[in-house]
Structure 1
Amino acid sequence: MPPSRPRSKPGPKAGVRGKRRAATPPRLLGLTGTNGAGKGEAAAFFMKRGYTYLSLSDVLREELRKRGLEATRDNLIRTGNALRRRYGPDVLARRVLRRVRGDTVIDSIRNPAEVARLRTRPGFRLLAVDAPVEVRFERVRRRGRDESARTLEAFAAKEREETGRDPGSQQLHLCLRLADATVINDSTLEHFHKKLEALP
């Protein structure tokens, strides 16, 4: 008697489609932090790992070019505050979200409404980068690009302008509190990278 053939498994019924896997949303990493803390270095670290770079400050620089103004720190602050008051405190985040394609690191977040808008996207995380004010002052002074970095006192005074109560202005201190993780960059670049690698 010939061996019985194994029963074949029934095929899919006509008209019934297999379940599709839900597309994984792109990873969005926001960067906030004090001046000279190392946000740019953090952004470069993640760009080497495949992230696209976007910056809320670049939105402001485009606006300054349209107005024929130099992209100084004072002009960036004033223009950002003016846009927030006219179009809403999350205006810069709304504009930058239109450009997101794939995994993206979003730099220069300075208002809680920007954080709230970015959190509407699945998978968004906010990373704060900070360092002691004396360390940051020396870094910015060596760069020679910041008119507020002539003295430590002037540098600290300019920072206080970023911690106002007006919801239409920069409120950096509140953004730092909203961060999902904080990295203190007070040592070497290698040590900073190790801290970034250790993030969950």
Structure 2
Amino acid sequence: MVEVLIGITGMPGSGKSAIKEVAKKFNIPVVSMGDVVREETRKKGLELTPENVGNMAIKLREMYGKEAIAVPCLKYIEKYFANYDFVIIEGVRSLYEVNYFKKYYPFLTIAIHASPKTRFERLMKRKREDDTMDWEEFVKRDMRELGFSIGGVIALADYMIVNEGDYKSYLQELERTLKKIIDSFKK
């Protein structure tokens, strides 16, 4: 049975998806909230552009409430990962989502922080379909994310990791933080 949900939050390009690499070492499944939004975008027959994915995130929240993305994530977790002690949810963006998860399970958050300049450079290298290569669009996306109350999630996170240095050091810090969480529940 799931004992604890661990949410990963941070602005686009901060390094949230690296949790997948670290989680493997602990045999912890990772569910990506962004994948849920991208899947809903695909289901509507839309191309995965920054605008389409962003609009879908807004539409889902309008249709199902501000915790809209959390609802299918939790159903997915309970269907596929019920036998795991820990499950990581990558991409938590709102305090509504945090509160939704907390209604059902103990829930801790790890916030990943990186400067806008660093994040934009990473997105330029990453080139995921829904990433923008334009600074103004990048800022617009940041403002949309902040509108979902991601700033509150970051500010109230249980753990904070600054990701401005080299990737190996960042992974080590992420691993140390995850181990600290796991050890605190194993006592």
Q: Report TM bin, short chain.
A: 0.7 to 0.9
Conserved 8 A contact 2:22-2:175: no
Name the amino acid aligned to 1:82. K
Q: Which residue of 2 aligns with 1:112?
A: 95
Query: Aligned match of 1:150 in 131, 134, 139?
Result: 134
Is the counterpart of residue 186 in structure 1 residue 169 in structure 2? no
**Percent of residue pairs identical:** 30
The whole-number CA distance in structure 2 between the counterparts of 1:136 and 1:68 is 29
TM-score w.r.t. the length of structure 1 is 0.78
The whole-number CA distance in structure 2 between the counterparts of 1:62 and 1:118 is 21
Equivalenced residue count is 171
SS of the residue 1:161 aligns to = helix
The whole-number CA distance in structure 2 between the counterparts of 1:197 and 1:158 is 29
Conserved 8 A contact 1:32-1:108: yes
Query: Aligned match of 1:89 in 66, 88, 91?
Result: 66
Query: Aligned match of 1:39 in 4, 13, 16?
Result: 16
What is the deviation of 1:154?
A: 4.0
The whole-number CA distance in structure 2 between the counterparts of 1:37 and 1:75 is 21
The runs of 5 or more residues in structure 2 that have no matched partner are 181-187
Q: Kindly provide the CA deviation profile for residues 91-133 of structure 1, in whole angstroms up to 9, marking residues without a partner as x.
A: 2111111121122111111121011111123332111111111
Q: How does 1:42-191 map to 2 (within 5 A)?
A: 42-100=19-77, 101=81, 102=84, 103-145=86-128, 147-151=131-135, 153-164=136-147, 170-191=148-169
Name the amino acid aligned to 2:43. K
What is the deviation of 1:198?
A: 2.7
| Bigger Rg, which one | 1
**RMSD over equivalenced CA pairs, Å:** 1.8
Assess, with a 3 A threshold, how the Cα gap between structure 1 residues 48 and 136 changes in structure 2: closer, same or farther: same
What is the deviation of 1:147?
A: 4.9
What is the deviation of 1:69?
A: 0.5
Conserved 8 A contact 1:32-1:109: yes
The whole-number CA distance in structure 2 between the counterparts of 1:95 and 1:50 is 22
The whole-number CA distance in structure 2 between the counterparts of 1:59 and 1:144 is 19
Q: Kindly provide the CA deviation profile for residues 155-191 of structure 1, in whole angstroms up to 9, marking residues without a partner as x.
A: 2343122222xxxxx2221221221111111111111
The whole-number CA distance in structure 2 between the counterparts of 1:87 and 1:115 is 16
Indicate the structure with greater helix content: 2
Higher RCO (C-alpha 8 Å, min separation 6): 2
